[in-house]
Structure 1
Amino acid sequence: MALPFLFLLFLLPSLISLLPLAESQLTVNYYDKSCPKFPQIIQQVINDKQLSTPSTAGATVRLFFHDCMVEGCDASLLISSNTFNKAERDADVNLSLAGDGFDLVTRVKTALELECPGIVSCSDILATATRDLIVMVGGPNFPVLLGRKDGFVSKAEHVEGNIAKPTMPLSQILSIFASKKFSVQEMVALSGAHTIGFSHCNQFSHRIFNFSKTSEYDPAYNPKFAEGLRSLCANYTIDPAMAAFNDVMTPNKFDNMYYVNLQRGLGLLDSDQTFAVDKSTKPFVDMYAANQTKFFQDFAQAMGKLSFLDVKTGSLGEVRRRCDAFNVLKA
């Protein structure tokens, strides 16, 4: 169930108070006059896409997160590579991003360009679509401030060290989040987005095949869960697209089951399971497993904070005509 309207009224001023000067130019009603049908258009497109392709919500949330963590929330991840530039989306850690998120943004942009050409930025589309999809699959509502511009830079070499990988030591993951001004608790709350979406078998295959001399799979896994993953991913080297739901219990519902799963040995990725046992993260995992309302509140607050991470406004960005290309080709 989405958070009540009163919580939105409480959350909005707290988010605005966190805004640095540039980001303070963002407002919730940025398009009210220039593109008044923006909310209705984006809602219709995401409804159609999510209903036809249920993996869209998880794909879009992950796309948004990966975009914001590199260069800020400026749609730099949407840029396609060309002869002169290898863009962010072709960095190794981004190659597994599902195409449904990219496709959704393209569909929304196309519809908006017909209604109000050259007005709505791709970064605002991605931020709004992410929030709307979270709500659509049962997660909390939260205000999205608008007025971002699309960035001028997208380079694959800028990605390394800015996005956590599931096999990284927890200390390194915490360091990445700390560099973006996120606390340990905020990191654990944001990780709750793993309640939807999926991960490819090659991201956890080392945990289920030939794990050690004494065990075929990581003993931290629930044994039946491990056997199920071994069966599912048996041919992953032949078919790299093979994947498993991040939340095996309620894969298409945004809830706190991700944290409950961690307590039961059902954490899919290394980093997930580490959160459940490390002394710095375990208290938050236990708290969110026991209290979905608290998780929703903290997740909404952290997502609001993420959504204006290093945003571009004014002359620092542009409104792209196409989300996958800069308006002017850069050699």
Structure 2
Amino acid sequence: MSTEHAPAGDPRAHTPLVAVVGATATGKSDLAIALAERLDGEVINADALQLYRGMDIGTAKVTAEERRGVPHHLLDVLEVTEEASVSAYQSAARQAIAAIRARGRTPILVGGSGLYVRAALDDIEFPPTDPAVRARLEARAEADGAPALHRELSRRDPEAAASIGVHDTRRIVRALEVGELTGRPFAAFLPRPHHHDPLTVQLGLQRERAALHERVALRVHRMVEQGFLDEIRALRGKGLDRGRTARRAIGYEQGLAVLDGALSCAEAIESTIVGTRRLVRKQDTWFRRDQRVTWFDAAGGEDLADRATAHVARAARATARPAP
């Protein structure tokens, strides 16, 4: 049940949906657990790689002990051979949010996978896909060239064509596929910054860039010490090499290269640090674009969780609507 439709007097009518977002290694998981303890909440994962069973060390997944008894949802729900789906995640996350509220508790979404966060929080509709239609369009692109399909897209959906490069075969094919299956322009499915739930409060965690880079390096070295390579070796036995999403994850891709003799351990560590720092910049750019996020300095003192809790309470009061 959404708070939008909670009956008069129902405590869920004023229960916010809290999201803790930001770059890797800022301390999001710690803050989410602390907020859950203060707000009688449960945590919902919004990190695409933490959906995978067994990808624990390399994703810095919180252990059972670190969760301190706080229930966590949407962790360990996929095998490494499966491909993560944003649309499937959206459905699962919203079901988890509704179930947590039905228990009279506060849902707390946490993660740095920007599109997954947006899928859970915003009014985003994901268009259908049809393997046969896509295969036919891909075959045409191969035979006639991407520019030919781009010209067709210009006739059918000028707005989409204007935003997609002439040689961007993947996006051209997707836009044509969406148009053929739905009869609607591709732009109709683009995300817009409008919360699905009006009682959503987004908190962003930030750290000074040099300090964050140092934390990233320390995290990668700690992963190795904790047995990251053994984890990758075990996941290879479960089909990691066949996983289109999982095997390309930063750290796991490098670890597989070490096992294959293509990289030394030192080279893999350096590559993982560089790749993670690049990811940090991308995540920061993504979340900074969202003006609805209120930012907190993660190094701002031991009262961070108290300040964040106070902000959630103020924001919830400011956005709450009288129950019908």
Normalised to the residue count of structure 1, the TM-score between the two structures is 0.27
Q: Which has the higher strand share?
A: 2
User: Given the two structures, how large is their TM-score scaled by the length of structure 2?
Assistant: 0.27
